[in-house]
Amino acid sequence: MHAYSLNLRGTLMPLDRPRLMAVVNCTPDSFYAGGRNGSVDLAIRAWDAGADLVDVGGQSTRPGAEPVGAAEEWRRLQPVLEGLLAVRPEARVSVDTYRAEVARRAVEAGAVLVNDVSGGALDPELWPVVADAGVPYVLTHLQGTPETMQDRPTYSDVVADVHLALGTRLHQAREAGLGDILIDVGFGFGKTLEQNYALLAALESFHILGAPLLVGVSRKSMVYKALGTGPEAALNGTTALHAWALDRGAHFLRVHDVEAAREVLTLFHQFHPAPLPGPWPA
């Protein structure tokens, strides 16, 4: 079975080993204080620390976040995206947005992947933009919207329901012309603490959908609420969840702390040198 790979505007990134996506939030209201007001310097440090992608976003998607509009979102992230590429032209930048206009501008400025927390549900023009650009896409499961997603999220069976929803949207995205697609079960996006851990425990079952898995648990409430702390004290717990996600076949980790996550990948490779799961056999 061959490994997955991503075509990043003509450069192939094989996913035979885990990769890191660094979080650079250009927002004043992200849930983690260390991840707010992202700068060019922060983006450079993330890339130099070994991130495989630097994920730049200008709209907070924390629970209850208010939308700011495409113009303000772009105003926030543009200088960081363009500033990083000016200093590190070899850097690979992804854009964290659910808006078509922001995605279009970001790709034109050099972004090589679109990371959409809404799974295409919040802007019907986003998928045509991604398909036209020919860049990889992260399809995330979200119940509701960022403003409402934590208002009593309800599922018959969270694993089965998310599996069905992602499978349906994955098929629709491919029918819409999207090429390389990663799937994200959406930890914290319309899930309770217990539902998040049920998804983590069952993460391996999502390989049957035939797409690489991206996992974003870094410093989220599923870590710090379980520990009775806050985002600033959640690095050790995040590291533990990263190890468990990798053991269940995660291809990408989306992280705030690149150096710590890189150590997890290094140690994971020591006892799991075999390639990660590739496309499910027909």
Q: Encode the chain in three state secondary structure.
A: CCCCEEEECCEEEECCCCEEEEEEECCCCCCCHHHCCCCHHHHHHHHHCCCCEEEEECCCCCCCCCCCCHHHHHHHHHHHHHHHHHHCCCCCEEEECCCHHHHHHHHHCCCCEEEECCCCCCCCCHHHHHHHHCCCEEEECCCCCCCCCCCCCCCCCHHHHHHHHHHHHHHHHHHCCCCCEEEECCCCCCCCHHHHHHHHHCHHHHHHHCCCEEECCCCCHHHHHHHCCCHHHCHHHHHHHHHHHHHCCCCEEEECCHHHHHHHHHHHHHHCCCCCCCCCCC
Amino acid symbol at 189? F
Out of 152, 220, 225, 262, which one is annotated catalytic? 220
CA distance 55 to 46: 10
**Residue 105 designated active-site:** no
Active site residue 220: yes
Among 62, 92, 219, 254, the active-site one is 254
Task: State the catalytic residues.
Answer: 220, 254
